[in-house]
Structure 1
């Protein structure tokens, strides 16, 4: 989880490199959180809580979009530098 938070903190860092491990760790945690939101969305039948879960998951997706793009750009740069 520390690596996931460290990646989120580097949201505006499009310079440098990212390792394959950093990308895979971020992807696993990210999809686990999205899976938890999806599970809660189907498990909760109350209309108000469904709207809350949808709003929170939407904010999470929008909030992690820039760190995801920055991570992928850094990873592409590190792949380019290897060859």
Structure 2
């Protein structure tokens, strides 16, 4: 039996004013809602320490964006279920 699953990958970077990458944010949102993942990788610890508040604010903004995508996926799934009843 063929089982097709849809997933969405989202990523972002947070850079210093000089363009050097401080952090990388990534997320995976599955179409089923199972196995969703959000992560952050710090590339430069010294720059992170110097910009910690801004990086954390960016991570919060990223998380909110991902949650919006999760909500859209759930809404889409509910619409499909309603059509099959």
More RCO (CA 8 Å, sep 6+): 1
Q: In terms of Rg, which structure is larger?
A: 2
* Greater helix content: 1
TM-score between the two structures when normalised by the length of structure 1:
0.46
